[in-house]
Amino acid sequence: MRLVVLGDLHFFQLGVWPWQLFSKRLLGQCNLWFHRRRHFQPSLWPRIAARVEELAPDVLLGSGDFTTTALPGEFAQAREAWEGLVRTAAPRLGAYVVPGNHDRYTYQAHRRRLFEDALAPWTATSWPARWSLGEGVTVLGLDPTRPNPFNASGVLGEQQLDCLAKALATLPQSECVLVLCHYPIGTPPDLPEEAEGHGLQDKEALTRVLAESGRAIVYLHGHIHWPWRWVPPNAAKVVTVNVGAPMLTSATFPLGQGIAELVIKDGGVRVHRHVMDVDGRWTVSPEE
């Protein structure tokens, strides 16, 4: 089974009505106007979508932050892009997405359920989501996002953690389990530690639930815009994969941070990163 995972797409719109700025969005739009717009390149989308189509995945996953300040216009772009991708790539076992903190950027966007409306065919209404793909593979989706006027943090809470623990305990031992959640559960030692106001507040509790399940788990996430693969020291059977931000350009990633491909075969999972080099050629780095 082949899966493709897309991280922080962050579609944006530069023009907003003045009344749309009476919220945390004022900060987000200023950041967009003066900084983000130079680095996030939506013009890369057609090439990313073409690559996904070429890979012919059986399953498509999205790890959240489809938008920048959760504007209706950004959700319309995200919907059009994702719907088009699902149509052309036609993943035979379905497409599934979880929200990111930017998709619940304001209380109004959350109250009006803009994320749920825009991505309704591919997301859940209650969390954790349990998506049984068949062929011995289950994706458990988590939603720790909530509107937050001061920072970018998220929290799962006891109920979602309990349900996750129960799901992990009741799935057959032979089942291959992937957990899809926007936030990381830690950062590799060669990277700066995530600021408290940016991260998942109960990430230690989540790591404990994953580790205590005793299962081998692939934990897929985004949020910190930098791809990595890392095994937390306190959860030796959990492999975390930061899938990166496909349309975020920098000196290291001149044409975006690429996409992650997972190949599940004979009970094992291989992760490959597909990244475009400076000439627009896709390079693949195999990882165990």
Question: Interface residues for Fe ion in 259-278 (CB under 5 A)?
Answer: none
Least Å distance, CB 138 to Fe ion, is 24
Tokens of 66: 């489809």
The site string for Fe ion over 2-41 (x = CB under 5 A, - otherwise) reads ------x---------------------------------
100/141 with CB nearer Fe ion = 100
Least Å distance, CB 102 to Fe ion, is 6
- Could you tell me how far CA 64 lies from the centroid of its own chain? 4
Contact stretch for Fe ion (CB under 5 A) within 99-107, 136-144, 155-163, 209-217: 99-107
Least Å distance, CB 225 to Fe ion, is 6
DSSP state of 90: -
Residue 103 in contact with Fe ion, rule: CB under 5 A? no
Q: What does the chain come to in residues?
A: 288
Least Å distance, CB 244 to Fe ion, is 10
Report the alpha-carbon distance of residue 233 to residue 185 in Å, rounded: 11
Contact stretch for Fe ion (CB under 5 A) within 58-66, 67-75, 187-195, 249-257: 58-66
CB 96, CB 139: distance < 8 Å:
yes
- DSSP letters for 13-50: -S---GGGGTTTHHHHHHHIIIIIHHHB-GGGHHHHHH
Least Å distance, CB 224 to Fe ion, is 8
Q: Tell which phi-psi region holds residue 72, choosing left (phi > 0), alpha (psi between -120 and 50) or beta.
A: alpha
10/273 with CB nearer Fe ion = 10
Residue 203 in contact with Fe ion, rule: CB under 5 A? no
Least Å distance, CB 10 to Fe ion, is 6
CB 82, CB 66: distance < 8 Å:
yes
- State residue 171 phi and psi, 5-degree precision: -70, 145
Residue 65 in contact with Fe ion, rule: CB under 5 A? yes
CB 170, CB 140: distance < 8 Å:
no
Residue 101 in contact with Fe ion, rule: CB under 5 A? yes
Question: Residue numbers of the site for Fe ion (CB under 5 A)?
Answer: 8, 65, 100-101, 223
